[in-house]
Amino acid sequence: MRAVVQRVLESSVSVDGRTVGRIGRGLLVLLGVAEDDGEQDAQYLADKIVGLRCFSDSDSKFNLSIEDVGGGVLAISQFTLFGDCRKGRRPSFTSAARPEKAVPLYESFVTLLRERGLTVETGEFGAHMDVHLVNDGPVTLLLDSKKAF
């Protein structure tokens, strides 16, 4: 499982012109599920994101987590995080999980965050979404449950 995590002042997602998710200060999480991912990958990334110290304290040091600042999470499914661009010019998505596997793991990830007391908004899996954000910093971090980076 892979995530692009962006610290935001606000973020929203819309489908066909209607807003389906919106947060203020917090984290925008673009989440990709691989074909070989399982529940342990969802748990790993949820734990990592909840504890990730990417918010500044009074000394401007990254010492605060999303829990510490009372922020929200906007979790957006994004299979293109597993696009392989090493050959040719068209990305290959063969390592991305098919919807029948990806949807339950994406939903599990969201549930795990909510069980930790976070406010979590989502997009619509498989829909064409317009994602808006005001990046704070900017701060953008890459996470991978297989620790590929």
pLDDT for the residue numbered 142: 98
Read off the pLDDT of each residue in 53-72 and give the average, rounded to a whole number: 98
In this prediction, residues 13-29 reach a mean pLDDT of 98
Catalytic residue among 6, 55, 79, 122: 79
- Is 58 a member of any domain? yes
Give domain status of residue 107, yes or no.
Answer: yes
Q: What is the DSSP letter of 80?
A: G
Model pLDDT, residue 8: 98
| Within-domain flag for 149 | no
The answer to whether residue 112 is domain-embedded is yes
6 in catalytic set: no
Give the total number of structural domains in the chain: 1
CA–CA dist 13, 20 (Å, integer): 6
Residue 33 pLDDT: 98
Position 31, amino acid: L
Task: Judge whether 43 counts as a catalytic residue.
Answer: no
CB 141 within 8 A of CB 66: no
- Please name which of 79, 72, 74, 136 lies closest in space to residue 102, comparing C-alpha atoms: 79
Q: Which helix (H) or strand (E) holds 30?
A: strand 26-32
Average pLDDT, integer, range 45-58:
98
Distance CA 83, CA 87 (A): 11
Catalytic pick among 78, 82, 109, 122: 78
pTM of the predicted structure, to 2 decimals: 0.97
For residue 132, the cross-strand partners are 12
CATH number of the domain enclosing 101:
3.50.80.10
Q: Find the distance separating the first CA and the last CA of the chain, reported in whole Å.
A: 12
pLDDT attached to residue 73: 98
pLDDT higher than threshold 90 for residue 149:
no
User: Which of 40, 43, 55, 80 does the annotation list as catalytic?
Assistant: 80
How far apart (Å, rounded) are the C-alpha atoms in residues 57 and 85?
38
Q: What is the mean pLDDT of residues 9-24?
A: 98
pLDDT tens sequence across 67-124: 999 999 999 999 999 999 999 999 999 999 999 999 999 999 999 999 999 999 999 9
Q: Both tokens of residue 120?
A: 């979590």
Q: By residue range, what is the domain housing residue 72?
A: 2-144
User: Looking at the domain assignment, is residue 104 inside a domain?
Assistant: yes
